[in-house]
Amino acid sequence: MAHWLRRLLSPRSIAIVGASERTDSLGAITHRQLLDRAYAGEIFAVNPRYDSLHGSPCYATLADLPRRPDLVVYAISGLALEQSFDQALALEVGGIVIYAANYIENDREPRLPERLRQKARAAGIPVCGGNSMGFYNYDDNVLVSFDHPPPKRPKGHIGLILHSGSGMTYLANNDARFCFNYVIASAQEICASVGDYMDYLLQQPSTRVIALVLEAVRDVPAFVAALQKARELSIPVVITRLGRSEKSAQLAMSHSGAIIGDHEAFVALCQRYDAILCRDTDEMIVSAMLFAANFRIERGELASMLDSGGMREQMLDLAEDHDLPFAQISPVTTALLRAQLEVGLEAVNPMDGMGDLGRNTRQTYLECGKALLDDDNTGLLSFEFEFRDGFSHYPELFDVARELAAYNDKPLVLINSCSFASIGQTAAEMTWQGIPVINGVDVALRALRNLMQYRPSESVDPEVPAIDFDTRAIANWQRRLQGAGLDEIDALELMADFAFPVVGFDLIENENQLTEALKSRDWPVVLKTAQPGLAHKSDLNGVKVGLVNAEQLGQAYRDLCSRLGQRALLMPMVQDGVEVSLGMKNDAQYGPLVIVACGGVLIELLAERSFRLAPVDTAGAETMLDEIRLGRLLAGVRGQPAVNRKALVELIVRFSALVVELADSVAEIDLNPVIVNQDGATIVDALVIGRQPDVESGQKT
Question: pLDDT band at 307, cuts 50/70/90?
Answer: very high
Q: What's the mean pLDDT when you consider all of the chain? A: 91
83-105 pLDDT per residue, tens: 999 999 999 999 999 999 999 99
Fold agreement between 1-132 and 506-573: no
Q: What is the CATH number of domain 1-132?
A: 3.40.50.720
Question: How many angstroms separate the CA atoms of 347 and 367, rounded?
Answer: 13
The torsion angle over the Cα atoms of residues 80, 84, 89 and 92, rounded to 10 degrees, is -160
CB atoms under 10 Å from CB of 282, counted, come to: 20
pLDDT value of position 424:
85
Question: pLDDT band at 605, cuts 50/70/90?
Answer: low
pLDDT value of position 257:
41
- Of 592, 573, 574, 572, nearest to 582 by C-alpha is 592
To which H or E segment does residue 443 belong?
Answer: helix 441-453
Q: What is the mean pLDDT of residues 537-541?
A: 86
Is 220's pLDDT higher than 70? yes
Question: How many angstroms separate the CA atoms of 154 and 173, rounded?
Answer: 13
Is 178's pLDDT higher than 90? yes
pLDDT value of position 564:
94
pLDDT value of position 83:
96
pLDDT value of position 537:
84
| Range with lowest mean pLDDT among 161-175, 182-196, 238-252 | 238-252
The pairs formed by 640-647 with CB atoms below 8 angstroms and a separation of 24 or more are 641/678, 642/678, 643/577, 643/578, 643/676, 643/677, 643/678, 644/676, 644/677, 644/678, 644/679, 644/680, 644/681, 645/676, 647/501, 647/676, 647/680, 647/681
Question: pLDDT band at 256, cuts 50/70/90?
Answer: very low
To which H or E segment does residue 239 belong?
Answer: strand 237-241
Q: What is the CATH number of domain 462-503+576-701?
A: 3.30.470.20
Question: pLDDT band at 254, cuts 50/70/90?
Answer: very low
Strand ranges in 485-563 using DSSP code E only, listed in sequence order: 485-486, 506-508, 525-529, 543-547
Is 538's pLDDT higher than 90? no
Q: What is the CATH number of domain 149-272?
A: 3.40.50.261
Question: In this prediction, what percent of the chain has a pLDDT beyond 90?
Answer: 78
* Sheet-wide strand order for 378-384: 351-352, 301-306, 378-384, 412-416, 437-439
CB atoms under 10 Å from CB of 458, counted, come to: 7
Q: Where are the domains of the chain?
A: 1-132, 149-272, 293-453, 462-503+576-701, 506-573
pLDDT value of position 260:
40
From the centroid of its chain, how far is CA 616?
18
Pick the CATH number of 506-573 from 3.30.1490.20, 3.40.250.10, 3.40.50.1370, 3.40.50.9100: 3.30.1490.20
Question: In this prediction, what percent of the chain has a pLDDT beyond 70?
Answer: 94
pLDDT value of position 692:
75
454-489 pLDDT per residue, tens: 987 655 677 787 888 999 999 999 988 886 668 889
Is 628's pLDDT higher than 80? yes
Question: How, if at all, do strands 180-185 and 209-214 pair?
Answer: unpaired
- Of 41, 69, 2, nearest to 140 by C-alpha is 41
346-382 pLDDT per residue, tens: 999 999 998 775 678 999 999 999 999 999 999 999 9
Q: 293-453: which CATH architecture? A: 3-Layer(aba) Sandwich (3.40)
Question: How many angstroms separate the CA atoms of 439 and 423, rounded?
Answer: 8
653-684 pLDDT per residue, tens: 999 999 999 999 999 999 999 999 999 999 99
pLDDT value of position 461:
73
pLDDT value of position 417:
84
54-65 pLDDT per residue, tens: 899 999 999 999
Q: What is the mean pLDDT of residues 561-569?
A: 94
pLDDT value of position 694:
56
pLDDT value of position 607:
62
